[in-house]
Chain A
Amino acid sequence: MAVGSGIMLRIERLALRLLTALDAIVNRLYSARLNPLYQSGTIVVVLYLTIVTTGLWLIVFYRVAAPWESVAGLTANLWIGNWVRGLHRYASDAAVVATLVHAFRMFAQGRSWGARALAWVSGGLLAVLLFLCGWTGYVLVWDTFGERLAIEGARMFDALPFLSEPLARAFTGERPVPGVFFFVTLFAHIGIPLGMGVVFWLHIKRLERPLLLPPRALAWASVACLTAIAIAAPLAMAPRANPFVLPDQIPSDVFFAFWMPLTARVSGGTALTILTAGLIALLVVPVFTKRRADRKPLPSVVDEDICTGCVQCSRDCPYGAIQMIERAGRRSMLVARVDPDLCVSCGICAGSCAPMGVGPPGRTGRDQLAQIQAFVGSPERRRGEIVAVCCEHGAAAYRSSLAAEGAATWTTDCAGNLHTSVIELLLRGGAGGVLVLSCHPRDCWNREGPKWLNERVYHEREAELQARVDRARVRIATVAAGESGDAVAALRAFSAHVSALALPMRDRSAEIDAECERTPVGGRA
């Protein structure tokens, strides 16, 4: 079932508009490099490490036989207990927020279906595990909030048909809550994060070179901010759980108990059904965001007559979708083979292939050159004008603003998809300069587009921009979809720079490398 063209696409577009506006604001406040919205996934990893570290410390003081008393003793100690517990709690809360931001980002950018569905589903499971971890953590304290969570959990569990003796029985006041309950809860609280490690492996399984941590400054700033608030606003203990007292107010954590006001008024079975339905709705998002066959971008294909077996496309693919396999009796020992189930049609392989033998249909290097030849041959082209190459997911949003500044604009699916021969051909076609407006490196929809483009233009990564091309006439700027002002400023600066150069000569013939640099199989560039 693919209903990506319907309501879901409209919601996606709406979400993207909101995200674009937020990104632009946050970029202005923190710079693109330290934009926490770009780094939401990696921030969760930092917070996870913080939670584990502080949790290891807290567990030293926790006693199963006296849960509330041991936590109260710890909380009373401002030096070694209170702020660590505060950091543990606030990092957990922040992890929920960062997880939601990350999921929202992936959804808005249409990165939830196809080959990315595994990451979406495993991400959903990670969110559930995080949620359960917080739940068990609060129960361990055994204050009024912990008791309430335990009762709500027991009510839901008891709605299931497989428990012969209801769990809620433990909290009625008939007898003291057994110590084994806290032992099992503690076991779950420690075991769940270990399980998260396995699911996390699944989450990033289809990514090559996954970035696990944010820039160091952002990581430390996040932890420092949470530590500061843990010190500035010391945690207070809620009253001890007592089954014979119904507290007037329970201090509840909205990040982990947002559902409680809703489910408190319904039966355990209904509450469980609501939460399960929410989880299922989250997990089936890829089914509804999946593009219809006629709108689905096609996976890359390999022209085996052109492929030289250089392995560059395999190295550059951010999703590990290209394997090199052996072949006999042809022009090379190896040939690239694309796994269509893993390919997200980012087109980065098209930019990586010097002889232009791989890429999504209609977007290979050769296709790009054919389109560019038509572009430079157009009577509208002026000698010496600036051509702004815009990423479809970023600068393409304000092509008209760039055109108003006198630039000719050309759109590419991703900066990483852009073949360097296109840049060369644009300059040979009489362009005064080529300004590539790529997305910010941590905001690339295809993960590594700006990185590879930069490497190919300035660091001779295969398929590199040829040495004969005047680098003074080429510039790469990173801008987000909501940063038209920055893009226009970059264009003006580049125009001023290019205007100081002599007018270029026109030579519209395209030169294509038939071979690329051979590198040993399995080696890294």
Chain B
Amino acid sequence: MTIAPRIVGILLAIATAVGLARASIVPFSPHGEQAVLRLAWTARPERIEDCRQQSDEELQKLPAHMRQSVACVGTTATYRLEVRWNDEVILQQTVRGGGLRHDRPLYLFRDIPLSPGEGTVGVQFDRVESVSASPHRDRSSDEREEARHSTAIDDVRRRRELEERTRGREEAIPSSLSLERRVRMISHRVVLVTYDADLRTFRMVEDGPR
């Protein structure tokens, strides 16, 4: 092999290596100049249930580990989300719980691009179903019913059942939530609206944990 092809070969190898290195850091611009309003939360939807007290006879027919003093059938609530930017509706969406039966927690994740500048963000999240399928139950009514019964379930189980029902109600997202806040949207920045399960309200975050 003569020297000329060899030199060209070496130069080609160098050029290939440089090209390889360059191609591994090609700038990619997925975002425009806009700011983003991000809606992201997870919450347990309310249960809309028809509950009734099971009789001792019914409970006796069940295996011990399946006995529950109150039996409920029903579904989970549906919610309507509406987002406004300076009083203009920019998003309307129906939100349901996850899973085929929609009995899993509801999850929301939407990025809404907005032009940079100051404005008012309004987020409204309301339950669609106006009437519950079952009469409203609270802890005291549960306790009254529990006191009446029952010989088929021991006290420990009955108390645990009561606690579980109470916790389920308390963990569910409220039937109506809203947030209205003046905010400055900055180019290439994200403003997050999320649900705070401890405070049971919406929360706006303009910078957060890394």
Q: Is the pair A257, B192 in contact by a Cβ cutoff of 8 Å? A: no
Q: Is the pair A242, B29 in contact by a Cβ cutoff of 8 Å? A: no
Q: Is the pair A173, B209 in contact by a Cβ cutoff of 8 Å? A: yes
A164 adjacent to chain B (CB < 8 Å): yes
CB contacts under 8 Å to A, within B16-52, are 16-18, 20-21, 23-31, 36, 38, 40-42
A191 to chain B, nearest CB (A): 24
B111 to chain A, nearest CB (A): 9
Whole-angstrom distance between the alpha carbons of A255 and B21 in the complex? 11
A341 to chain B, nearest CB (A): 40
Q: Is the pair A251, B42 in contact by a Cβ cutoff of 8 Å? A: no
Q: Is the pair B99, A229 in contact by a Cβ cutoff of 8 Å? A: no
Residue of B nearest to A31 (CB): B1
- Given A94-B20, A169-B40, is A242 in contact with B210 using a C-beta cutoff of 8 Å? yes
Q: Is the pair B8, A29 in contact by a Cβ cutoff of 8 Å? A: yes
Residue of A nearest to B12 (CB): A29
Q: Is the pair A93, B190 in contact by a Cβ cutoff of 8 Å? A: no
Question: For chain A, which range describes its interface: under 10, 10 to 19, 20 to 34, or 35 or more residues?
Answer: 35 or more
Whole-angstrom distance between the alpha carbons of A226 and B14 in the complex? 9
Whole-angstrom distance between the alpha carbons of A252 and B30 in the complex? 11
Whole-angstrom distance between the alpha carbons of A89 and B208 in the complex? 31
Q: Is the pair B38, A173 in contact by a Cβ cutoff of 8 Å? A: yes
- Given A29-B8, A30-B9, A260-B28, is A175 in contact with B209 using a C-beta cutoff of 8 Å? yes
B45 to chain A, nearest CB (A): 14
- Given A246-B31, A249-B28, A253-B25, is A166 in contact with B109 using a C-beta cutoff of 8 Å? yes
Whole-angstrom distance between the alpha carbons of A253 and B27 in the complex? 9
Residue of B nearest to A94 (CB): B20
Q: Which residues of B contact A97 (CB under 8 A)?
A: 20
Instruction: Give the contacting residue for B28; candidates A164, A169, A261; CB below 8 A.
Output: A261
Q: Which residues of B contact A241 (CB under 8 A)?
A: 210
Residue of A nearest to B191 (CB): A244
A519 adjacent to chain B (CB < 8 Å): no
Q: Is the pair B24, A243 in contact by a Cβ cutoff of 8 Å? A: no
Whole-angstrom distance between the alpha carbons of A250 and B28 in the complex? 5
Q: Which residues of B contact A173 (CB under 8 A)?
A: 38, 40, 190, 192, 205, 208-209
Q: Which residues of B contact A172 (CB under 8 A)?
A: 38, 40, 109, 192, 194
Whole-angstrom distance between the alpha carbons of A89 and B105 in the complex? 40
Q: What are the interface flags for A70-85 relative to B under an 8 Å C-beta threshold, 1 for contact and 0 otherwise?
A: 0000000000000000
Q: Is the pair A169, B192 in contact by a Cβ cutoff of 8 Å? A: no
CB contacts under 8 Å to B, within A164-218, are 164-166, 168-169, 172-176
B137 adjacent to chain A (CB < 8 Å): no
Whole-angstrom distance between the alpha carbons of A28 and B4 in the complex? 10
Q: Which residues of A contact B21 (CB under 8 A)?
A: 86, 90, 229, 233
B144 to chain A, nearest CB (A): 36
Q: Is the pair A165, B38 in contact by a Cβ cutoff of 8 Å? A: no
- Given A29-B8, A31-B1, A229-B21, is A165 in contact with B98 using a C-beta cutoff of 8 Å? yes
Q: Is the pair B192, A246 in contact by a Cβ cutoff of 8 Å? A: no
A460 to chain B, nearest CB (A): 32
Whole-angstrom distance between the alpha carbons of A174 and B188 in the complex? 18
Q: Is the pair A93, B23 in contact by a Cβ cutoff of 8 Å? A: yes
Q: Is the pair B109, A169 in contact by a Cβ cutoff of 8 Å? A: yes
CB contacts under 8 Å to A, within B161-210, are 188-190, 192, 194, 205-210
Q: Is the pair B24, A255 in contact by a Cβ cutoff of 8 Å? A: yes
B1 to chain A, nearest CB (A): 6
Q: Which residues of B contact A253 (CB under 8 A)?
A: 23-26
Q: Is the pair A90, B24 in contact by a Cβ cutoff of 8 Å? A: yes
B29 to chain A, nearest CB (A): 5
Q: Which residues of A contact B18 (CB under 8 A)?
A: 229, 233
- Given A168-B109, A260-B30, is A244 in contact with B40 using a C-beta cutoff of 8 Å? no
B20 to chain A, nearest CB (A): 5
Instruction: Give the contacting residue for B188; candidates A86, A148, A248, A255; CB below 8 A.
Output: A248
Q: Is the pair A264, B30 in contact by a Cβ cutoff of 8 Å? A: yes
Q: Is the pair A164, B24 in contact by a Cβ cutoff of 8 Å? A: no
Q: Is the pair A89, B190 in contact by a Cβ cutoff of 8 Å? A: no
B40 to chain A, nearest CB (A): 4
Residue of A nearest to B1 (CB): A31
Q: Which residues of A contact B27 (CB under 8 A)?
A: 249-252
A461 adjacent to chain B (CB < 8 Å): no
Whole-angstrom distance between the alpha carbons of A255 and B25 in the complex? 10
Residue of A nearest to B209 (CB): A176
User: Which 3 residue pairs across A and B have the least CB separation, nearest first?
Assistant: A29-B9, A172-B40, A249-B27
Q: Chain B: residues with CB nearer than 8 A to chain A?
A: 1, 5-6, 8-9, 12-14, 16-18, 20-21, 23-31, 36, 38, 40-42, 98-99, 104-105, 107, 109, 188-190, 192, 194, 205-210
Known pairs A90-B21, A244-B206; list 15 more (Cβ under 8 Å).
Answer: A29-B6, A29-B8, A90-B20, A173-B40, A173-B192, A176-B210, A244-B192, A246-B188, A246-B190, A250-B29, A252-B28, A254-B26, A260-B30, A261-B28, A261-B30
A-B contact pairs, 11 of them (CB 8 A): A165-B104, A168-B109, A172-B194, A173-B205, A243-B190, A244-B208, A245-B189, A246-B36, A248-B188, A252-B28, A255-B24
